[in-house]
Chain A
C-alpha cells in the first residue's frame, strides 16, 4: 500500500505556480520523498527527491516540512505540457526489492 496521501485532482492556470501537496505522516528516518509524473501512455518521469532539506532543480522545487510528515512540489511556472498525474512516493529499499509503490497520485490540469 502507498504510504502517501495526495488530493485526487487539482487545477492550475497557465503561467502560475502549481503547488502539489503530499502527506506522508508515517515516514521514517531513512526514507526519501520522491516525485514522479506520468503523462498518458508514457513512462513515469522522475522530477525530484529529498530527505529532509528543501531541494530545487530545473524542473521543480521540493519543500519538506521540518517534521517530514508532509511535502509540497512546486512547479514555478506551469505550462499546458505539465498536465499529468503527479505521484508522491516514499522510498526505502532497505535490502528489499527496489519496488516503487505508486499510489493514485494527483491529476494536475493546467488550463490556459
Chain B
C-alpha cells in the first residue's frame, strides 16, 4: 500500500544533541511538509518542499533543518538550537502545492527531552 512512513515513533534527545526524524513516501508526490503539534494545539508548519533539491521555511523554522535529495525522502533535523523541541512531529506529502491536492500525513514521531 502507498503511504508515508515516519520513524522512529518515539525519540529522546539529550541536551545539546541533534536528532534526525525520518520521513519516506511512496506516493510519488512532489511536495512534502513538516509540521509540529503541541498538546491541544493545531499544526504549525516547519518546512516544506515543492520539488527535489528545493525547500522553504515555514512559520517556525528556527532550530530545524531539512534536506530533499530524493523525491521520496524529506528528513528533519532538530538541532540543539531548538530550545523547546518536545512535541509531536508530523510529515505530510501531496501531489502538488495546489488547492485541489490533499496533504496526506504519516503517523508522527513523538520527541521528548531527557
Contacts and interface: CB of A to CB of B under 8 A. Distances in A.
Interface in B5-41: 6, 31, 33, 35
A94 B106 CA distance: 25
A90 B60 CA distance: 21
User: Which secondary structure characterizes the binding site on chain B?
Assistant: strand
- Chain B contact patch, size range: 20 to 34
A2 B42 contact: yes
Contacts, number: 61
A103 B110 CA distance: 21
Interface stretch (B63-71, B76-84, B97-105): B97-105
A42 B42 contact: no
B111 interface: no
A44 interface: yes
Contact of A45 (B45, B94, B97, B105): B105
Contacts of B90: 43-44
Interface of B: 4, 6, 31, 33, 35, 42-43, 45, 48, 50, 56, 58-59, 88, 90, 92, 94, 97-100, 102-108, 110
Interface of A: 2, 30-32, 34, 41-46, 49, 51, 91-93, 97-104
Given A43-B107, A100-B35, 8 more contacts: A43-B6, A43-B105, A46-B102, A46-B103, A46-B104, A98-B33, A100-B43, A102-B42
